[in-house]
Chains A and B, each alone.
Chain A
Amino acid sequence: MPNRINRRQLLRGAGSVCIGLPLLEEFAPVRAQPQGALPTRVLTLSFGLGIDSELQRQAFDGPLQPFQKIAPKAAFFSNLKNDSLKGNGTVHFNNAATLFTGRPQNGEAQAGGPSLEQIVRNHLHPSGVPTVGGLPSISAGIWSRTGAITQYTRHWNQDGSPGEAPERRPSKVFDRIFGSAAAQPPSTMNPAEPDPDFALQTRIKRSVLDSVKAEHDFLVGARSYLGAESKARLENHLATIRSVETGLVGGDQAVRPVEGGSCTVPESAGFTDPAAFSFYDAPSGAIGGPEVAHEAASQAFRLSADAIVAGLACDAVRFASMIFVGAGEHIRFRGTYSALGDSLDFTSAFKGSPHNEIFHNYVQSAVRVYQHYVISQLGYVLDRMDSVVEPNGKTLLDNTLVVVGTEYGLNHEGGNGIFGAVVGGAGKFRPGQYDGNHGFTDVYSTLMRAYGIENSGIEGTEIPGLVI
């Protein structure tokens, strides 16, 4: 009969070699919120199916209206190109792989390199992000389509392999950032008797972790029996271990943020997952288009956004990606949505899916309303960030680099006319409208250079006037 053990036993495990989060958080002292300079934070926001040039020109009289409030802080790009990055497969597959990577995809399930937030993370914190819980990054959002991994993955590792798929459940997003116990009242917490073996355990954990890292070092080193591709895979694994080392070892590291100033840890009870989304827990989405009331999808996305915004403000997470519908998405939203003096009955309009019904058949008037619904979700994130005032007197949005992107411009045409935006960026960028013939690579390489990263691996030309 196999032994069966559980997490509770782990918590009681005196004399154990206990590693992992959030198991030890009650034991750990709380670290003060970092003082002085604010941390560098990067967030990518993506959406599917694009906005054509004509609708972009409508600016805030069109589907981009939800961005109007934050426009003074944003650089908008209306004619981005990514011809040079095109690969094989459908436009949804290969364009989506170039989004935030600026490199052509490297196979159906592989991007050509890391995504922007991972480049910055790795550049600034190769040995782990010093957030209160050591969380290196998080990815969340609403998506379903899984014809290819590139359709929904926006976190790409150093070797171009996919990182975590965006988490759909707000409750899980909250737990990842703050830990399930963080918002519980003290009376319900595990009393967590002091572990008399604590010092020994911490020492053992360090030795175990060093041992694990040494094995990785061996396998990526000169005496390794692995080929280049496998080595790259393990190098990424090792980098990830280093990025969460604080959390793995625990010890005297803090795992809970201190509230105050711009940091308010939300109540976990508020993160009940809305509606019974059939695709919440589907392993990798679904072939068909799941039906979801548009209000429910919006609510779920915004709850996740709330958790991430709070996490950014509390320094519980510094690097994140959010997605509201994947590339070539087929979710069938339900209900009537009204905006821009128009309304669209999603239920009757999307017998199939928005993808088929209004993009393949390109019904621009419907796209205009539909994408307003989509952009309003991303706008919510930006507005929330702009409502958080940080110690330097500026808002969280001002202090964070937010990059907005989508897969193409005009209906399935991947080459040009693609919308994008750069928001915030700690005063490094000049807001405004940029309509030149710039490529994804130009934008991304300019951003990375502005953040002091000369060797990002993205080949592009600096965009004149963008960097202040």
Chain B
Amino acid sequence: MFHIRSVAEAAPEEDRSFKARSSGLPHEGCARAAASVRRPPLSVLRRATQWGAVACTLCFAVWGCAGNQDASEQGIPTPASPTGPLGPLASVPTDPGSPPIAVPSTPGVAANTPLASRLTRDQLANTVLDVLGVAIDPEILRGFPAENVKETGFVTAVNGQAFSAAHVLAHSQMASSVSLSIDPVALAQRLAQCADTTPACATNLTAQLGRRLFRRSMLAEEQMRFAALFTEVAAFPGSTFTHAARALLNAMLQAPQFQYKQEQETLGTPGEVRMTTGHELVSRLSYFLWQSAPDDTLLAYADRIAAAGGVIDPTALADQVLGMMQDTSKLARAREIFWSDYSHASSAAFQDAEPGQADELRESVKAAFGRISGDGGPEVPLKDIFTTTQMVMTPGVAKLAGLQPLAEGLQVYDTSSAPQRIGLLTHPGFLAAIGSTSFVGRGTFLSERVLCRVIVPPPVAAIEQAINDTATTTKDLTPKGASEYRLGLGGACQGCHLTFEPISYAFERFDVLGDYREKDLQGRELSTFGFLQDAGGNELGKYQGIGELMALLAASDEVSKCFALNMLEFASGHSPDGILPAIDAVHADFIQGGGTYSELVQAVALSPSMRALKVAASE
């Protein structure tokens, strides 16, 4: 079971001391219009405030240890005043090369050790679109190798990210095409109020571009290197400002600071947990909620955190998160990816589907889950996933579900008239994505995905022995009969298989594409009776039919905690092992807030684990 520790427990009083150091100047960025946003649930605010009690006692420097020194101190032209997206910001914080500072540790907070994480294909496309206003050509995007997605994983996973020459070449091609497509003069005028090859313009344009593309203020030495590139190219015979600006953008788009989400991993004492800087926080939030880079409002918020000595005001943070959630179009990107991976629609081959049917199944199941979270319908609690009879489908998928097709395209169907079609786990697209009808195949997927249980691989010899020993006895039984017979024998297999096979008994009447039938090819009646056990082997209840299983799942604490765990994994990109202690608090906020997708996103975004990291060793 999950081991949970509350936030209050996680931050003992004696650890709240710190050694303050702040050499920065305050920045007045563009404050988000907090007054217009919905207030967070009290539970969320309460926890945020609890954490804030800790956070407010902490002080740490921003990027580059003391990165909020005003740019003008380094002779860097400072834009006049903040404006909207792609407009200039109040100032350009840079690293003056200060010595390392003491970073307060926060023992007890569940945190992962960060790892440089390559932007996924979607994150890359979103970032370029949002920051530069350029849509990467789909043909170029397709040149990026597909991400590794484990059957029960999320595309955001940090571990297992493949890397090869194909990535380098695709990224190079993308950078070239994007830098070609922009109007360098207009971009520079907007960002830096200049479009010439003077050193001042080079420096300011570099800083402004870098700030947005690297999601933080540039280090002084980075800024010098990129400005030097600009100047070098501008000095080539025949070269112009356009050449230099495009070269600068091209190089920045290929730079590891852009391609990878990075944090100051070694700032602090290795092994200890520290809070994120403001820029680390807004980058985490934006790639979680929007699958894209922070906008100017968030960057300005990060500047304010830096200016406040690293203090994260809980109310301000909640306002930022709620403000981000008002951007429904950006929020929809993350929602679609989450549900695509959750339902396995993103990577399933639908190999048993007819040509063309796979896309219908994929789009239908994505839309069905999306609707639960408010896309095309009222947002409802996530537990309704198990009980809803409102499913989005195409006409072709509706036929598979035994329903009369409605109009073309994705439509909402009432499935209450169809037998056993209760909850989205019975959606043909969901079942087809699993791609297996065996109790083991479906059972392991459902157990891992819906219940977050870890299925330990068995000793294969034992399986073979069991199958061989029972082959004769079970050869005339239905698959369920054979399964029950084997489980009834006890032994090594029973304990584990009981935790995942019985959940799939309810689905025996659905074929691999989710088509419903009551008898198998031999004319034998297929059963929908079963039972559910918890991970410890205790029976949670018996069910007769899919509806009763779904009711058990909808009422299960384990299931709703699993949503929290999945969302934490999606948000962080890490296996949840390192942040398990955060689950209870996130779960409590999620449920207390109403149990919806939005509440879950909000609870994770405001979780202390989202603003803590375990310091890595440099070697």
The A-contacting residues of B in range 311-357, CB under 8 angstroms, are 344, 346-353, 355
Could you tell me if B434 and A15 are in contact, using CB atoms closer than 8 angstroms?
Answer: no
Q: Does B79 contact A (CB under 8 A)?
A: no
Are A23 and B165 in contact, CB atoms less than 8 angstroms apart?
no
User: Is B407's beta carbon under 8 Å from chain A?
Assistant: no
- Asked whether A208 lies within 8 Å of B229 as measured between CB atoms, the reply is yes
Determine the chain A residues whose CB is within 8 A of the CB of B349 once the complex forms. 144, 278-279, 282, 285-286, 288, 290
Using A146-B150, A227-B113 as known contacts, say yes or no to A17 and B137 having CB atoms under 8 A apart: no
Q: Is the CB of A147 closer than 8 A to any CB of chain B? A: yes
Instruction: Please name all residues of chain A whose beta carbon is closer than 8 Å to the beta carbon of B457 when the two chains form the complex.
Output: 89-90, 93
Distance, CA A362 to CA B441, complexed state (A): 20
A5 engages B162 (CB within 8 Å)? no
Q: How far is the CB of B149 from chain A (nearest CB, A)?
A: 5
B142 CB to closest chain A CB (Å) equals: 10
A155 to B164, Cβ gap below 8 A?
A: yes
Q: How far is the CB of B188 from chain A (nearest CB, A)?
A: 15
Complex Cα distance, B280 from A52, in Å, reads 53
Per-residue interface assignment for chain B, residues 138 to 160, with 1 indicating a CB less than 8 Å from any chain A CB and 0 otherwise: 01100001111111000001011
| Pair A237/B250 contact, Cβ less than 8 Å | no
Q: A361 to B464, Cβ gap below 8 A?
A: yes
Report the Cα distance A278→B441, complex, angstroms.
Answer: 19
Residue B161 is within 8 A (CB to CB) of chain A in the complex? yes
B116, B176, B434: the one within 8 Å of A287 (CB) = B434
Which residues from B are CB-within-8-Å of A216?
256
B579 within 8 A of A: no
A446 cross-chain contacts in B, Cβ below 8 A: none
Assembled-state Cα–Cα distance A203/B135 (Å): 27
Please measure, in the bound complex, the distance between the C-alpha atom of A155 and the C-alpha atom of B512, giving whole angstroms: 33
Residue B243 lies at the interface, judged by CB distance under 8 Å to chain A:
yes
Q: Which chain A positions have C-beta within 8 A of B618?
A: 224, 226-228, 231
Q: Shortest beta-carbon distance, B278 to chain A, in Å?
A: 16
Q: Given A16-B176, A162-B148, A197-B238, answer yes or no on A136-B348 (Cβ-Cβ < 8 Å).
A: no
Contact with B along A141-159 (1 / 0, CB 8 A): 0001011110001010100
The minimal Cβ–Cβ distance linking B84 to chain A, given in whole angstroms, is: 17
Stretch at the interface among B32-40, B264-272, B551-559, B600-608: B264-272
Interface residues in B165-182 by Cβ distance below 8 A to A read 165-169, 172-173, 175-182
**B400 sits at the interface (CB 8 A):** no
Q: Are the CB atoms of B140 and A13 closer together than 8 Å?
A: no
CB distance from A412 to the nearest CB of B (A): 4
Residues of A within 8 A of B255 (CB): 211-212, 215
Contact B434 A288 (CB under 8 A): yes
**A200 near B: Cβ within 8 Å?**
yes
Most chain-A CB neighbours within 10 Å: which of B232, B250, B441? B250
Binds A, one of B6-14, B42-50, B220-228, B541-549: B220-228
Choose one: B116, B148, B236; the contact of A149 (CB below 8 Å). Answer: B148
A437 contacts chain B at the CB level, 8 A cutoff = no
A229 contacts the other chain (CB 8 A): yes
A218 to B434, CA, bound (A): 45
Q: Chain A residues near B159: list those with CB within 8 A.
A: 107-110
Residue among A20, A21, A162, A413 with the highest chain B CB neighbour number at 10 A:
A20
Nearest B-chain residue to A236, judged by Cβ: B163
Decide if B247 touches A215 in the complex (CB within 8 Å): no
Question: If A165-B162, A360-B464, A411-B464 touch, does A230 touch B150 (CB 8 Å cutoff)?
Answer: no
* A228 CB contact (under 8 Å) in B137, B157, B350, B616: B616
Q: Confirm or deny: B358 has a beta carbon within 8 angstroms of a beta carbon on chain A.
A: yes
A225-B267 in contact given A215-B225, A230-B115, A286-B351 (Cβ < 8 Å): yes
How near does chain B come to A97, taking the closest CB pair, in angstroms? 12
Within 8 A of B (CB), among A215-271: 215-216, 218-219, 223-231, 233-234, 236-237, 240-241, 243-244, 247-248
The size bracket of the interface on A is: 35 or more
The distance from the CB of B175 to the nearest CB of chain A, in whole angstroms, is 7
A309 at the interface (CB under 8 A from B): no
Given contacts A149-B150, A234-B260, contact A207 B232 (CB under 8 A): yes
- B247 x A17 contact (CB < 8 A): yes
B458 to A: closest C-beta gap in Å: 8
**Contacts A91-B460, A243-B165; A219 near B177 (Cβ below 8 A):** no
- A204 CB-CB contact with B under 8 Å: yes
B438 at the interface (CB under 8 A from A): yes
Query: How many A-B contacts are there with CB distance less than 8 Å?
Result: 295
Residues of B contacting A362 in the complex (Cβ-Cβ under 8 angstroms): 464
**A288 to B229, Cβ gap below 8 A?**
no
- Looking at the complex, which one of B167, B177, B266, B464 makes contact with A10 (CB distance below 8 Å)? B177
Residue of B nearest to A231 (CB): B618
A339 within 8 A of B: no
Query: In whole angstroms, what is the CA distance A352 to B238 when docked?
Result: 66
Whether A161 sits at the interface, judged by CB under 8 Å, is yes
Task: Establish whether residues A17 and B239, one from each chain, have CB atoms under 8 Å apart when the complex forms.
Answer: no
Instruction: Please name all residues of chain B whose beta carbon is closer than 8 Å to the beta carbon of A197 when the two chains form the complex.
Output: 238
Contact B435 A288, beta carbon cutoff 8 Å: yes
Judged by a CB distance under 8 angstroms, whether B408 is at the interface is no
User: A283 near B140 (CB under 8 angstroms)?
Assistant: no
0/1 per residue, B340-382, Cβ < 8 Å to A? Answer: 0000101111111101001000000000000000000000000
A165-B162, A226-B262, A287-B441 known; A109+B148 contact, CB < 8 A: yes
Please name all residues of chain A whose beta carbon is closer than 8 Å to the beta carbon of B418 when the two chains form the complex: none
**Nearest CB of chain B from residue A234's CB, rounded to whole Å:** 5
**Contact assessment for B137 and A284 in the assembled complex, using a CB-CB cutoff below 8 Å:** no
In the bound complex, do residue A229 and residue B616 qualify as a contact, i.e. CB atoms below 8 Å apart? yes
Q: Is A214 an interface position by the 8 A CB rule?
A: yes
Q: Does A9 contact B (CB under 8 A)?
A: yes
By beta carbon, the residue of chain B nearest A22 is B169
Assess the A244–B180 pair: CB atoms within 8 A. no
Contacting residues of chain B (57-94) with chain A, CB-CB under 8 angstroms: none
Known: A207-B232, A230-B116, A279-B349. A360 touches B176 (CB 8 A): no
Give the residues from 149 to 186 in chain A that come closer than 8 angstroms, CB to CB, to chain B: 149, 153, 155, 157, 161-165, 176
> Are the C-beta atoms of B162 and A226 separated by less than 8 Å?
no
| Chain B residues positioned under 8 Å from A228 (CB to CB) | 616-619
B178 CB contacts on chain A under 8 angstroms: 5
Listed residue (A16, A225, A227) with the most chain B CB atoms within 10 angstroms of its CB: A227
Inter-chain CA distance A247–B176, complex, in Å, is 14
Q: Are B176 and A18 in contact (CB under 8 A)?
A: yes
Given A109-B159, A284-B146, is A15 in contact with B243 using a C-beta cutoff of 8 Å? yes
List the A side residues contacting B468 at CB < 8 Å.
Answer: 361
Tell me whether A233 and B176 are in contact (CB under 8 A): no
- Provide the residues of chain B in CB contact with A19, threshold 8 Å: 172-173, 175-176, 250
Query: A200 near B243 (CB under 8 angstroms)?
Result: yes
A-B contact pairs, 28 of them (CB 8 A): A2-B135, A7-B177, A9-B177, A10-B173, A17-B179, A17-B180, A17-B250, A19-B176, A23-B176, A110-B160, A146-B148, A146-B149, A147-B150, A149-B160, A165-B146, A200-B238, A208-B250, A225-B262, A227-B113, A227-B617, A229-B113, A248-B172, A278-B350, A278-B351, A278-B353, A286-B348, A288-B349, A291-B352
Q: Which residues of A contact B (CB under 8 A)?
A: 2-7, 9-10, 13, 15-21, 23, 89-91, 93, 107-110, 135-137, 144, 146-149, 153, 155, 157, 161-165, 176, 197, 200, 203-204, 207-208, 211-212, 214-216, 218-219, 223-231, 233-234, 236-237, 240-241, 243-244, 247-248, 276, 278-279, 282-291, 352, 360-362, 411-413
**Residue ranges of B at the interface with A (Cβ–Cβ < 8 Å):** 113-116, 129, 133-135, 137, 139-140, 145-151, 157, 159-169, 172-173, 175-182, 221-222, 225-226, 229, 232-233, 236-239, 242-243, 246-247, 250-251, 254-257, 259-260, 262-267, 344, 346-353, 355, 358, 433-436, 438, 441, 445, 457, 460-461, 463-464, 467-468, 471, 512, 616-619
Other than the given A90-B457, A135-B165, 20 more pairs (CB < 8 A) read A2-B129, A6-B139, A9-B180, A10-B176, A10-B180, A17-B180, A108-B159, A109-B150, A161-B163, A162-B163, A212-B251, A219-B256, A227-B616, A227-B617, A282-B347, A283-B147, A284-B148, A284-B347, A288-B436, A360-B463
